[in-house]
Structure 1
Amino acid sequence: MSLDAEFERVSMPLENPFTISRGTQTAAENVVVRVTDEAGMTGVGGAAPSSHYGETADTVEAVMPDLLDAVERVGDPHALHAIESELRAVVEGNPAARCAVSIAVHDLAAKRLGVPLHRLWGLDPSDAPKTSFTIGLDDTDRVREKAADAVEAGHSVLKIKLGTVRDRELVDAVREAAPDARLRVDANEAWTPKEAVRKAEWLADRDVEFVEQPVPAENPEGLRYVYERSELPVAADESCVTAADVPAIADRCDIANLKLMKTGGLLEARRAIAAARAHGLEVMCGCMVESNASIAAAAQLAPLLDYADLDGSLLLAEDPYAGINLSDGEIRLAEQDRAGTGARPAEE
């Protein structure tokens, strides 16, 4: 058996500038990987690197030839553990780059068997939770408008980015525009522990579901302080990168938030989910601003999750790839009519 692999960089403008407490993004630079077997069947995966974790599209492109050489050396798309071990042996860091290859190979393996990836894993698509839709930081009127637009599009779960002196005003604006929506907030490490506890009090009054990463990941005792005193459940994102981080956060949060681009691959993502469950945590899967080349793979994990935040492709003005239908927040795995992850060129 032989495999051929290739990659390309894609730049995708966002529908609206996307701002969090660390900065503003107007376009997403992803790298798409394609792995083809000797019969001409192709698996697709995507990397959405984050500079917060030391990756850029340039670093992904720099290591990708070595990663794809490793895939071709293994040669069998069903040897998923061997391939991911080889990828880590070749490039220890660069998790988004490794993840793109992992997704492509999983996509190809499931396609060769003629089943959706969630079916290969034995998952029930009816167990998938709804995904939230993220409202980025903006002026208050614009935040209100974006929340109203999201509700009109059918989204019933909204996530609000916070980390400003206007946090209360922004939450009130969203609640005004979406009185019946489930709300979650994400501070992206912007608060102090005492500030987070104070804000959780009035967030609870506004029927917010939980608060994500209230304090910097470099302050684990601060996270514990918030967890022990907060009126809301606490989700750990930046504090939880791979499965190895789960034991350290188990007594500091209620929810582990994994992202494929942090874990480095689908096998590690599933290990992180299992580790979180073993430690009594609930589980969420988030994303970067990503093409469906990778979001479709994350959606396959949905039946294993308590919460989903997989709106990355919905934030794009145009995506060269189509995937699972998430347009109104429903993760419609049961409607998937293609084997693999369901990712495909948008023009098909």
Structure 2
Amino acid sequence: MSALADHRIDRISTRKLHDHYPRTVGRNARLGSHGSGGTYTVTVVHTDQGASGWGIALGDVDPCQPLVGRRVEDVFDPALGVTEPTAMPLDLALHDLAGRLLDQPVYAMLGAAGSTTVPCYDAAIYFDDLDPDDDPRGLDAVLANCAADHALGHRAFKLKIGRGNRWMAAADGVARDIEVTRAVRAAYPDARILVDANDGYPAERFVDYLEAVADCGLYWIEEPFPETHEDLRRLRGDLKRLGSTALIADGEARPDIPLLLDLAAGGLLDVLLMDVVSYGFTAWRQVMPEVVAAGVAASPHAWGQPLKSLYAAHIAAGLGNVAVVEGVPGHTTGVEPASYHLVEGSIELSSAPGFGVELSPHEGAHE
């Protein structure tokens, strides 16, 4: 019998973990301050032989309790992921458990199609120039944040843009977006620069920003406006006219897979961004062949928890076809020091079984 057949689910418990960012993360084009961290639930799947695996919960885990007594192989296939729909909230925990039972890292279980040194960008450069309201810190705040994250090991920066959508007059917002982009490029001439508008630009006005930063060598443009064929064709034409090789990335806000794959197959998108947790690890395994067939790359959205960057890196190392992963600076209370590291702009994964991270004993436990 296989290792997964030898183990039955004995208990499903939950824990609360808390993330701490290095600083308060400010606004983006649509939302206010993102705070300095947050509390969330992870699930732990225990087997009758004393093994366990854990991961961020994908929704309510109470409906999973009837799975107690089932063999692990009844709900999870190492070649596919979760096979029992009621077990989907345990998606990440079951991947971790299976890796531990098979004594292999998750990326190896996925096929080890990519490198275990995974390029990673800094995703924590928000509108901190606008804070506080009564005495905005200005451009120096953005540059200080880049410097702090560079010291942590980041070598690529994703800049939030779209200040004119909510926080500044439209023209002033575009001007500040341009100023920030050019300043970061000047400070880091060799860095990859990505920009993300969170759908905060009018489609017909985005060209104003593009023209002003045409010499900045943007690596990618993320969700500049709600995606449509017409608007993305215009954007693609503008990029070609300006001689830009910037990739167009989309799919975080509205993971409409048929639409995204259609846009990708039509040459209008280059990178798909569905979230690594809310869309799901098993779902990413299922959709990746279609992403490859459409001729585009992936980069599972990971903002929010540092652990999500680890999950995205395992997809990159396991399935391949990932351009770069999203990095969330910070640490997690309740997790032992991780067996992966950020070095010179890349996450270096270890060969530890499962996802390679351990929960601290007892801290945050909740049955």
Q: TM-score range by the shorter chain?
A: 0.7 to 0.9
Tell me the distance in 1 between the aligned counterparts of 2:161 and 2:106: 35
Paired residues in the alignment total: 318
Tell me the distance in 2 between the aligned counterparts of 1:182 and 1:137: 19
Pick from 317, 320, 324: which aligns with 2:334? Answer: 320
Pick from 268, 277, 294: which aligns with 1:261? Answer: 277
Per-residue deviation at 1:149? 2.0
Pick from 70, 81, 84: which aligns with 2:82? Answer: 84
8 Å contact from structure 2 (residues 252, 274) kept in 1: no
Alpha-carbon distance change, 306 to 105 in structure 1, aligned in 2, over 3 angstroms: closer
Pick from 166, 182, 190: which aligns with 2:192? Answer: 182
Query: What does residue 21 of structure 2 align with?
Result: 14
Structure with max Cα Rg: 2
Q: Deviations over 1:57-81 (max 9, x none)?
A: xxx4xx2211x22543643157425
Query: What does residue 143 of structure 1 align with?
Result: 142
1:307 is the counterpart of 2:316: no
Tell me the distance in 2 between the aligned counterparts of 1:223 and 1:347: 50
Tell me the distance in 2 between the aligned counterparts of 1:170 and 1:71: 51
Query: What does residue 235 of structure 2 align with?
Result: 226
Divergent runs of 4+, >6 A: none
Per-residue deviation at 1:290? 1.1
Query: What does residue 35 of structure 1 align with?
Result: 45
Q: Deviations over 1:137-177 (max 9, x none)?
A: 21121101111222233321111111110101111222233
Give the stretch that moved more between structures: 141-150 or 254-263. Answer: 254-263
Q: Secondary structure at the match of 2:213?
A: helix
The residue type equivalent to 1:2 in the other structure is R
Per-residue deviation at 1:16? 1.6
Query: What does residue 276 of structure 1 align with?
Result: 291
Q: Secondary structure at the match of 2:342?
A: coil
Q: Deviations over 1:301-326 (max 9, x none)?
A: 123133223312x244x443243524
1:241 is the counterpart of 2:238: no
TM-score (norm. length: structure 1): 0.81
Query: What does residue 69 of structure 1 align with?
Result: 65
Q: Secondary structure at the match of 1:285?
A: coil
Query: What does residue 113 of structure 1 align with?
Result: 102
TM-score (norm. length: structure 2): 0.77
Per-residue deviation at 1:288? 2.3
1:214 is the counterpart of 2:214: no
8 Å contact from structure 2 (residues 201, 224) kept in 1: yes
Pick from 1, 4, 8: which aligns with 1:2? Answer: 8
The residue type equivalent to 1:137 in the other structure is F
Tell me the distance in 1 between the aligned counterparts of 2:20 and 2:152: 20
The residue type equivalent to 1:257 in the other structure is L
Alpha-carbon distance change, 272 to 200 in structure 1, aligned in 2, over 3 angstroms: farther
Say what the alpha-carbon RMSD is for the aligned residues.
Answer: 2.7
Alpha-carbon distance change, 75 to 188 in structure 1, aligned in 2, over 3 angstroms: same
8 Å contact from structure 2 (residues 8, 47) kept in 1: yes
Tell me the distance in 2 between the aligned counterparts of 1:7 and 1:285: 24
Alpha-carbon distance change, 138 to 79 in structure 1, aligned in 2, over 3 angstroms: same
Is there any run of 5+ residues in structure 1 with no aligned partner, and where? 50-59, 92-97
Tell me the distance in 2 between the aligned counterparts of 1:203 and 1:179: 14
8 Å contact from structure 1 (residues 258, 272) kept in 2: no
8 Å contact from structure 2 (residues 75, 83) kept in 1: no
Alpha-carbon distance change, 302 to 22 in structure 1, aligned in 2, over 3 angstroms: same
8 Å contact from structure 2 (residues 55, 93) kept in 1: yes
Per-residue deviation at 1:234? 0.9
